[in-house]
Structure 1
Amino acid sequence: MSELRIAVLGVGLMGAGHARRITKQISGARVTVINDYLVEKAEEVAATIPGSRVVADPLDAIAADDVDAVVLATPGTTHEKLLLACLELGKPVLCEKPLTTDVDTSFEIVKREEDLGRKLIQVGFMRRFDPEYVQLKALIDSGAIGLPLIVHCAHRNPVVPPGFDSAMIVRDSLVHEVDVARFLLDEEIVAVTILKPTPNSHAGAGLQDPQLALFETASGRLVDVEVFVTTGVAYEVRTEVVAERGSAMIGLDVGMVRKSTSGAWGGQIAPGFKQRFAQAFTNELQSWVDAVQAGTNVDGPDAWDGYAAAAVCAAGVRSLESGVRVEVEMASKVSASR
């Protein structure tokens, strides 16, 4: 096809941003249909996108003749029904996390897609497309610093919306580190422990913030994560990989900083200010559009990655509530493909 025609479902903060990027920054695609449960919001966004129209029913939007693919940015509770509609109609979909809101339905989506015999779902873990994470992953895969042994992560937000609870810190914030750990180390997380430090006195009543998470991987490597979502300071995301022959850190706003056995260390200073993951979102969308145009439909985290993240976060919530180590309950890929 000469130009991919896309329906954007849900035009809140994420969806409206995706619609704008597709229109202004992405080649080979255009937005033809806008949907939101707030019709006036959909009309407001459509008015800024030439050639687009509003379709009130999301299922009608997916089925529209002028829609080749879908960007799904509606609330997570709607994802299962809408993903099933995309699969039934054979339309590729870029689905913002979560895949679905629970482990069982996420696994059902994985199996339903596998029944089709081709991948149609890409999940929006955009950090995999961030230049610094791409650089860190390439360094690990090159073997230049040897086998990674430990990963240290920090995930800090200045503020979260009202109603953001302790479990949402796991499901909505820590989930990104879940995918980062699986992406960088190429293996599954098999156990999670959530520790609860003294809560921030400036956090909302009852909000356990910060939290410290410890992931154990299948081969015995450890990933520790500080999640602190009410710092009142800034948005900070850092990742350090400690390996057998050196270490590397990203997220310092100076590019990757590397230490080596030669005693050298350093990195490159970014040429200017930009929102931390602005480029990642653009790269993610362009990569997805190119994959759909090529007929592969997915170039990044897939439905299995969405299911794995849901399973790890479910274990994390149980650990948060119980205060003990919780093993991840997850099917094997063999059982998924039956």
Structure 2
Amino acid sequence: MPIRVGVIGAGVMGADHIRNLSATVNGAEVTFVADLDAGRAAAAAPPSARTTTDPSELINASEVDAVVIASHDSTHAGLVLECFEAMTPVLCEKPLAPTLLESLDVVEAEADIIAATGARLLSMGFMRRFDPGYAALRETTRLRSHGEPLIVHCTSRTAASGPGTSSETAITNSAIHEFDIIPWLLDSPITEVSWQAGRSSRHSPGELQDPALMLLRTADGTLATLELFLNSQYGYTTRCEVVSERGTAALPEPAALVVQREGHRTAEIPADWRPRFADAYRLQLQAWISALERGEPAALATGEDGLRASQVAQAMIRSLHSDGAFTKVIY
């Protein structure tokens, strides 16, 4: 029998999860879709799946074995806790929660479940851990193929920020990926951070300061930089380079199509993150479903990983409001 999955949130991310679970992931069947917009839920759901505007109905449905949460960030913590009450395995998209206190509540609740039953129910959607490029970068960094790592340079650019994005939510929703991937690459936690910004793009809405430059130092002394530019206009790109003592290792920047014509070479740039990380999302979902089939813990990021990323985000927000002062991360 396939693992029957309910997906909460049928927007861009949720709809992509539904397509993957229905077409590219073995052993899964999407049986229920929830979204506050009934039309959007119906449009994203497979023909045989039920739909609802009430996430609680989905979580407690008899035809749901596991839940994917891809709804608004503000709903994550509460929905994960509902899954815990139903003892239902859950894959939560990043972030675990927009606030540190909510993240702590979730991790403490799961710790109680683990202590009582031994069951770990929560997996986090930090999909870059499953990207083949990031995996190769981590392996060469761990092997010290080019000596000790000294600096990590990260770039994350999107064409346009989402509605209501602020400098704070840019940290908790977008930069959160690097807050997870940098310590994962280096096997060393982030210990202090600094947020910096200069001129903002005229395309930056409201009071969002964009682009921003973030500095992060890990416990082993490695310095990392992150340029986060949410309104770059030209498309989606992400880069990561590890500078070591005797060389560097960097992710190639994939292009969907390269055209050479009349003395020029042009490359298409994807509009958003989905083409770039299509393999990562598919591999992450497959690892989750396969682990559920075997009754084993999934090799995905955990709630504790989500909490640590939230702790880094909280320190970065404190730096933002302290004129960029280096700020200690409190674990």
Q: Same fold (TM over 0.5)?
A: yes
Q: Measured at CA, do residues 65 and 297 of structure 1 come closer, stay the same or move farther in structure 2, by a change above 3 Å?
A: farther
Q: Tell me the residue number matched to 1:87.
A: 84
Say whether 1:322 aligns with 2:322. yes
Q: Deviation string for 1:133-179 (max 9, x for gaps)?
A: 01111212233223222111111112112322222221122111111
Q: Deviation string for 1:238-279 (max 9, x for gaps)?
A: 10001233210004228xxxxxxxxxxxxxxx9x99921111
Q: Tell me the residue number matched to 1:27.
A: 26
Q: Tell me the residue number matched to 1:68.
A: 65
Residues 157, 230 of structure 1: 8 Å contact kept: yes
Report which stretch shifted further, 181-190 or 36-45. 36-45
Work out the CA distance in 2 between the residues paired with 1:63 and 1:129. Answer: 30
Offset, 1:75: 1.2
Residues 123, 303 of structure 2: 8 Å contact kept: yes
Residues 193, 215 of structure 1: 8 Å contact kept: yes
Q: Tell me the residue number matched to 2:142.
A: 141
Offset, 1:56: 3.5
Number of aligned pairs?
A: 311
Q: Tell me the residue number matched to 1:103.
A: 100
Q: Counterpart of 1:99 in 2: which secondary structure? A: coil
1:292-331 aligned within 5 A: 292-323=292-323, 324-330=325-331
Work out the CA distance in 2 between the residues paired with 1:26 and 1:311. Answer: 32
Residues 32, 52 of structure 1: 8 Å contact kept: yes
Work out the CA distance in 2 between the residues paired with 1:327 and 1:288. Answer: 34
Work out the CA distance in 1 between the residues paired with 2:36 and 2:110. Answer: 26
Offset, 1:207: 2.1
Query: Unaligned stretches of 5+ in structure 1?
Result: 255-269, 331-338
Q: Tell me the residue number matched to 2:211.
A: 210
Say whether 1:7 aligns with 2:6. yes
Offset, 1:20: 1.0
Work out the CA distance in 2 between the residues paired with 1:9 and 1:202. Answer: 32
Residues 142, 186 of structure 2: 8 Å contact kept: no
Q: Tell me the residue number matched to 1:247.
A: 248
Q: Tell me the residue number matched to 1:261.
A: none
TM-score by length of 2: 0.89
Q: Measured at CA, do residues 226 and 50 of structure 1 come closer, stay the same or move farther in structure 2, by a change above 3 Å?
A: same
Offset, 1:203: 2.0
| Segments ≥4 residues shifted beyond 4 Å | none
Work out the CA distance in 1 between the residues paired with 2:54 and 2:210. Answer: 38
Residues 119, 296 of structure 1: 8 Å contact kept: no
Work out the CA distance in 2 between the residues paired with 1:54 and 1:133. Answer: 36
Offset, 1:43: 2.0
Report which stretch shifted further, 292-301 or 212-221. 292-301
Residues 8, 33 of structure 1: 8 Å contact kept: yes
Residues 151, 223 of structure 2: 8 Å contact kept: yes
Q: Measured at CA, do residues 202 and 105 of structure 1 come closer, stay the same or move farther in structure 2, by a change above 3 Å?
A: closer
Q: Tell me the residue number matched to 2:168.
A: 167
Q: Deviation string for 1:70-93 (max 9, x for gaps)?
A: 001111222222111211222111
Residues 98, 172 of structure 2: 8 Å contact kept: no
Q: Counterpart amino acid of 1:245?
A: R
Offset, 1:44: 2.2
Say whether 1:287 aligns with 2:284. no
